[in-house]
Amino acid sequence: MLTPATYLTGARLKREIPGANLALTFAGVLLALSLVAASSARAAGMLYIRGGGSGHGIGMSQYGADGYAQHGFSYTQILSHYYTGTSLGQVAPGRTVRVLLADGGASFTGALAAGSIRLKATSTYAVSAAGARLQITGPGGARLGTPVSAPLTVTGPAPLMVPGLGHYRGSLQFRPDGRGGVETVNVVGLDDYVRGVVAAEMPSSWPAQALQAQAVAARTYAITAQVGAAGYDLYSDTRSQAYGGVAAETAPTDAAVAATAGQVVTYAGRPVVTYFFASSGGHTESVQNVWNGATPEPWLTGVPDPYDGAGGDPYHQWTQQLSLPAAQARLGSRVRGRLVGITVTHHGLSPRILTAAVVGTAGTTTVSGADLQSVFGLPTTYAAFTAITVTGGHGKLTGTVFPASAGRVSVQALGRSGGWQNLRRAAVSLRPALSRAAVPGRFTAAGLAPGRYRITAGSLTGPTVTVS
């Protein structure tokens, strides 16, 4: 499961509906832009990306849960908000789960027995594959008996230590991985496992009700989202959910686990998968809109998330910007001709992108939100794109804003003191692109003295150019 610490971020955005905002067809855009392409050699262009949240957006927003707890909501209310139509059920808190800790080299400390072999708790032992069997090696490299059958279970009176990883409750289990290495698996009681998850997934300083919501979600996820491997049920990282063993346990998170002992989220009387993620940006998303082929689930429907940014959420709003040439280089063959910009064509239940059009001077390419997230390294698919190009000419400034929307841009001049001064506002044309003078999103400011200029469009500041 993706954790808050996994991402960098930051703005709740209005949806861009291209048909309503552009008032033109893509064919018209391409015709107009091809007419100006030859004269745009001196143009400076930037692509601005604004988005909200971090993570896949399905289920419980962790920063949203924090916000709800700060506003007095209980963990049961938090869970029922994010997992629509659910209730709480009960499972045995001592039932075991098997967590893959490592795959490759294997060693351990703190054990008194490895199967029928007696050990010293103060010694460190290694386990290696010997075909389908396992060889235990003691201090100094001495072999302990002949290879033994797999799996090999190692037990001790206290948490066992895996060098380089940490201490773990329960027992350790080893088996060959079939590639010459050894799988190290922690077999641990469910609630002891959850003790090692909560603080690894959510800051222990957060309100108790948020921690309790996380404990229930983590416990439910552990028994409903198992990976189906022969020797283990879960990964110890974000492929399942972060698990730090004893080192991750804290007094507040232990208390949250104890207060919710054995509780799980249920729908129609059975435990259900409880996805969670860092931050929603203000609205969660339905599962089928995030993962291709996913079956719609009534408890995994997108919902408003009004408190997502209430607790100092660093991911609630974020921005990126890069030059149009740099953006085109990242997009590669998705751009036909020269990059004009990107416009969202289909949103999910939230402003997350399902599909978008990469618009170039020679055509458009349809891409998914996940593709754009990967290309630009975005923390989520909740994003909108604006391209601004500015060209400085003789006594005038011209440029485009794409996607176009009604309004004006502000023209600013660089003063002698180094500060920017507002000069005037220029209208943004939304007329059909039938001629060079009517490029949608185009603006012109004439009668300018020589100097350095830029424009602002809403909260965005365009690139700086020179007017002669």
* 65-80: pLDDT as tens digits: 999 999 999 999 999 9
Region 404-416: mean pLDDT is 88
Region 5-27: mean pLDDT is 32
> For residue 111, what are the contacts with CB-CB under 8 A and spacing of at least 6?
119, 121, 125, 154, 155, 156, 160, 172
Work out the mean pLDDT of the chain and round it to a whole number.
89
At residue 40, the pLDDT reads 38
| 238: helix, strand or coil | coil
What value does the CA radius of gyration of the chain take, rounded to a whole number of Å? Answer: 28
Global confidence as pTM: 0.86
Report the amino acid identity of residue 119. L
Report the amino acid identity of residue 125. Y
| 122: helix, strand or coil | coil
Greater confidence (354 vs 140) lies with 354
Helix axes 190-201, 251-259, angle to 10 degrees: 130
pLDDT band at 35 (very low <50, low <70, confident <90, very high): very low
Angle at 422 between CA 419 and CA 425, to 5 degrees: 155
Tokens coding 114: 């490895």
Tokens coding 207: 């309100």
* 21-34: pLDDT as tens digits: 333 344 444 434 44
What torsion do the CA atoms of 124, 129, 132, 138 make, to the nearest 10 degrees? -30
pLDDT band at 430 (very low <50, low <70, confident <90, very high): confident
Task: Please give the Cα distance from 454 to 452 (Å, whole number).
Answer: 7
At residue 310, the pLDDT reads 86
Percentage of residues in the chain having pLDDT higher than 90: 83
At residue 311, the pLDDT reads 72
At residue 15, the pLDDT reads 27
Q: Find, among 335, 376, 325, the residue nearest to 353 by Cα.
A: 376
- Return the number of other C-beta atoms located less than 10 Å from residue 209's C-beta: 22
- Return the number of other C-beta atoms located less than 10 Å from residue 450's C-beta: 11
Q: Find, among 417, 418, 399, 371, the residue nearest to 460 by Cα.
A: 399
pLDDT band at 431 (very low <50, low <70, confident <90, very high): low
